[in-house]
Amino acid sequence: MTTDNRVTIESLDQEGRGIAHAEGKVIFIEGALTGEVVSYASYRKKPSFELAQMTTLHRAASIRVEPKCKHYGMCGGCSMQHLDSRVQVAVKQRILEDSLARIGKVKPESILPAIYGQAWGYRERARISAKYVIKKEKMLVGFHEKRSSFVADMQSCEILEPKVASLIEPLATLLAGLSIRDKLPQIEVAVGEHVYVLVLRIMAPLSCEDEAALRAFADQHVVQFWLQTKGPETVVPFYPLDAPELTYSLPEFGVVMPFAPGEFTQVNSQLNRVMISRAMRLLNPQKGERIVDFFCGLGNFTLPIARSGAQVTGIEGSDALVKRAAQNAASNHLSVNTAFSARNLFEMDEAALAALGRFDKWLIDPPRDGAMELVKSITPEIAPDLIVYVSCNPATLARDAAELVLRGYVLKSAGVMNMFPQTSHVESIAVFVRS
């Protein structure tokens, strides 16, 4: 760490860090907000920039609030709790617009109103670490510390679904008493509408006493334990075996989605409903249209599209997710106008895309890497009239937007969806129309 320096914060970056300039360098300062005067200590130095932590707040901004979580600043799970929740949304909107302008050299014709929901207690999916610390004779259960591989010493969490948050301390006590407490590095949490699932990653067999302790905990706290011994394919239910299956529902579209603990679903089910509703309004699927849902997962957008009567094809890289999507279509009586296939969309080319035929409309919902190979493969013969692009990374959305403009599209609208309040994650949606 260097000695303290005093600077004025000029703006915020994509990670929610304050940006200042000192001695010809850009300084990115964690915990600082626009307009504030702070002192900082650098923890990483490069020729043109430094990464730093705020050490002293000399003049606070009006948008600063007291963090709700007592572990904030030590735990690495959140980075924006010191910023008013409503202002967080505005910051993310600015990050989206700046990314589109700076990286994509594009500007949407209109800005969509931001989508946001509850600011706390929203997270229904999480991967939580566990570590038995011999020197402390204590089991730690929580997220990693900021900029560290150490597990944070947590007793609570303000963004986890409230019941899950209330289990942090009881889980630590339970795991500390197991014979394999030093061979249990992770707990995956999945909350459904009718069941709470805790997947224990175990590196050694449970003893009979361990199994009895897990059963007693499950009965007391009304949760279901699953076990994972190796890769994701080894995840199996342990107790109770008669628990309801994991599901989430989309009432607006009459859809119920079963899913397994390891399968990808959005962490914020309330906002997921609002996001799908907006995507459907923007896509406006009509009976008789041919629509494709790229990176379809287990059918989160595919089945609502199908409910409109359109013929929809879901394409996803994972064979297991494609199988799950087809099962979900069948259970919702939507098999007749859905089809699914597994393809590596990061290796798409013009010939492979042309082989799918032309679709009237596209919905794209890629991971953080974006969909560059897919959009680069668009030719005039198969170009859709409309593309709705759901993004979890403004930088790759902006990059792909530039490519779509080159291929004759206009960015009609874009806006943010605050799927992850209190964090720097920026989820957004954009609409491209063929000019």
Integer Cα distance of 235 and 241 in angstroms: 13
Take residue 38 and report the two structure tokens written for it.
């702070």
Q: Which of 355, 235, 335 is nearest to 325 (CA)?
A: 335
> Which residues neighbour 133 within 8 Å (Cβ) at sequence distance 6 or greater?
139, 140
CA end-to-end span of the chain:
54
| Mean pLDDT value of segment 108-130 | 97
pLDDT band per the 50, 70, 90 thresholds, residue 4: low
Whether residue 387 is predicted with pLDDT greater than 80 in this model: the reply is yes
208 is in an annotated binding site: no
Integer Cα distance of 408 and 410 in angstroms: 7
Contact present, 172 and 140 (Cβ < 8 Å): yes
Contact present, 141 and 154 (Cβ < 8 Å): yes
Q: pLDDT of 239-280, one tens digit each?
A: 999 999 999 999 999 999 999 998 999 999 999 999 999 999
**Active-site annotation holds for 392:** yes
> CA torsion angle for 404, 409, 412, 418 (degrees, to 10)?
-20
266 is in an annotated binding site: yes
Q: What is the pLDDT of residue 81?
A: 96
Domains detected in the chain: 5-64 (2.40.50.140), 90-118+247-434 (3.40.50.150), 125-191+196-239 (2.40.50.1070)
* β-strand partners of 390: 429
Tell me what the pLDDT averaged over the chain comes to: 96
Q: pLDDT of 139-157, one tens digit each?
A: 999 999 998 999 999 999 9
Q: What is the pLDDT of residue 136?
A: 86
Whether residue 2 is predicted with pLDDT greater than 50 in this model: the reply is no
**Reported pTM:** 0.94
pLDDT band per the 50, 70, 90 thresholds, residue 160: very high
Whether residue 301 is predicted with pLDDT greater than 60 in this model: the reply is yes
Sign of the Cα pseudo-torsion (350, 356, 357, 362, in order): negative
Helical packing angle, 394-406 and 85-102, nearest 10°: 40
What is the distance of C-alpha 158 from the center of its chain? 17
349 is in an annotated binding site: no
Strand runs labelled E in 143-184:
none
Q: Which of 106, 392, 401, 411 is catalytic?
A: 392
Q: What is the pLDDT of residue 16?
A: 86
